[in-house]
Structure 1
């Protein structure tokens, strides 16, 4: 990995912030509404990046084509918006990584498929909004990841070329989006990973097992 990176772009859920506990709590709120017992939050972690679709499949066994899906999704989203950051935290080592970027003059930002009406308040509540160089959401562009649109918009917002940046994500669609944009990528092995097969098969330019390894890839001491 080049040492000349000027900006690091992160996926949000499962890469920058561990949002699975709050997402799982929202899925359990739907179960409780239906008279069901809550499930262990760990069960939701592998699908936490898949949004309401993935979480409700685990919680209720229903897909978007199910007649009850719209109502259950709406309740899920209402509950989640009201409880965005009760349990969510930066991943271990991420606070030190971001501080290291800032000390070394490396900008950082967020590119997520989360809708802006959830991204923006979460960034504020996690005290990240004022620090990030950009925060591009899935509905800010015509096509969300794995299309390159959101990554290219982030580059435009920070005023840098794709060669000046890298993209870090915990899902294969993150790596596919970076490739489509012509940007180098790092697969975040500390994240949710989803059902994408082995991370070694995603064809990222590098794999980081923890945030400190990303600093090492960039030649930066923490």
Structure 2
């Protein structure tokens, strides 16, 4: 399998490596300017898959349906969602550099810095939550933390899981040992949650 172009590899490996969170966010800040062209070289399919999953779950999105794009990066998911009729987008990301790029798209009603699992999510009232993550070996600890955070949100009655879709060909692998059974790709997951309605106060 042809590897992604050599120039991209060091930057992608820097964020795929298991750095501690503050260092990882710094790396994402530094990567923000080249992020979109680099992930295009990796045939990164997450934004398309995330939007397709949400549209499949809710084929006729209600007008004004709010979507919280978690780990929104530079806004790639927002572009796909807008094409599919979801126009009321809120985004959160841990990287200030990425949020700056997302702001430049003009597609989000609101953007906020937030790391899922470390800080409470600023949930728009009602609506959906959409997020994606890689399942490659170096990301498994983060993926486990993410799923634990999502489980807590479910247990608190804040969000209800709609789907968790495993995808084999997520993006091109930058290391052979990261790829799924020698396909040259790493796998990933799309998570879609629905915001639970706030129960009305019972009149006493």
Q: Shorter-chain TM-score category?
A: 0.3 to 0.5
- Normalized per residue, the structure richer in strand is 2
- Provide TM-score, normalisation by structure 2: 0.40
- Provide TM-score, normalisation by structure 1: 0.38
